[in-house]
Structure 1
Amino acid sequence: MTTGLPNFFEYNLWANLRLLDFCEQLSDEQLDATMTGVFGSIREVLMHLFASEEGYAYSFTKTRPSSPLKEEDSFVGFEELRRRAQLSGKALIDIAKERDLGETFWLDGGVYECQAYIVALQAISHGVDHRSQIATLLAQQGIELPALDAWGYNDALHSKQ
């Protein structure tokens, strides 16, 4: 089996869905807690995370959902976030399998130049960063997030076999 960038996006989708499953069980108070140094509340971080992921997929496909997520919108709920995470996550996996990541992109209305692999790298690092922020918000409340790191992913892969 060949491994590569698609595996990173498979991990990213797994971690995002596991995060949503866990956060769905939290109380409103826990979801709305915030602290200095973190993007916002858990709800705000989740909206930002998945709005951004739709944007990364858009950079490649130039297609958006009929009503794209906007991080400033009201929280859309876990079912809708899960649906969108699956769509953008699967799109990024397919992109990693099929696209030339050496392609040049002009982002931000054509004023920002980068290679496609930079967008892919940003999508992965952005997810890790914000999942860590949610873990910090939860830790401050005495709540431990399940393992969302590579070791947790490996364990999940092996438990399916």
Structure 2
Amino acid sequence: MDTQAHLPLNQAAADPPLVMLFRHNLWANLRLLDACAALDEEQLAATIPGTYNTIHKTLNHIVWSEEQYLSDLTGREPESRLWSAGGPVLVDVARLRAMAQQNGQGLMDVAAGAAAGEVVILEGDGLRWHTPVGLILTQAINHATEHRAQIMVILTQLGLEPPDVSGWAFSQEFVRPISIE
């Protein structure tokens, strides 16, 4: 695991709450990507009804979406596009992990500087929308959480133990028990 996602308690505890939420999101994405890195091609191609798509395509979708949210929030084009004129471009789990790390750090940076009432202008289909930054940040968290859960259901159906990406599991990396005497 990358140490940037895992800070000592005093550093992580200093995060504003919204940054902590995005730190957890990054940690959970990396934890799931690490678990999926051990899968073979057949397992990565697995899906079940009610989920977005295959494990591999859903991982790509999570990372591509976070790349797009970050681009929408910063106005900067992504360094590596996972989308071409022909549709989504699938990349391997190792590259996804590196991209997730970069996107996650960028989203934490945006979250750290987000101000109440701040909006960005989104454009598409000849229309423009003034969209609250908080709404895009909310969507980023909700979207990743939903798709991670879908992948974990597929893993369970394959007979594999999915990683624990709960807030409590995340806290165990930062909170040290204190003995009561």
> Is the TM-score greater than 0.5?
yes
Distance 2:36 2:73 in 1: 29
Question: Cα offset for 1:113?
Answer: 3.7
Distance 1:82 1:57 in 2: 16
Aligned match for 2:112, one of 97, 113, 129: 97
Aligned match for 2:133, one of 102, 113, 116: 116
Distance 2:116 2:39 in 1: 38
Percent identity, please: 36
Cα offsets for 1:89-145 (capped at 9, x unmatched): 000000011132522233242444421100000001111100000001111111111
Which structure 2 segments of 5+ residues have no match?
1-13, 177-181
Contact 1:24 1:78 in 2 (8 A): yes
Partner of 2:145: 128
Partner of 2:34: 21
Distance 2:89 2:130 in 1: 32
TM-score (norm 1): 0.90
AA aligned opposite 2:74:
T
Q: CA RMSD in A?
A: 1.8
**Secondary structure in 1 aligned to 2:120?**
strand
Question: Cα offset for 1:146?
Answer: 1.4
Partner of 1:42: 55
Q: Which runs of 4+ in 1 moved over 6 A?
A: none
Contact 1:105 1:114 in 2 (8 A): yes
Aligned match for 2:45, one of 21, 32, 43: 32
Structure having the higher Rg? 2
**Secondary structure in 2 aligned to 1:68?**
coil
Partner of 1:60: 73
AA aligned opposite 2:152:
A
Distance 2:52 2:93 in 1: 19
1:2–1:17 distance in 2 versus 1, CA, 3 Å: closer
TM-score (norm 2): 0.81
- Greater share of helix residues, 1 or 2? 1
Distance 1:122 1:75 in 2: 22
Cα offsets for 1:70-107 (capped at 9, x unmatched): 29434211221111101110000000111325222332
Query: Which is worse superposed, 83-92 or 70-79?
Result: 70-79
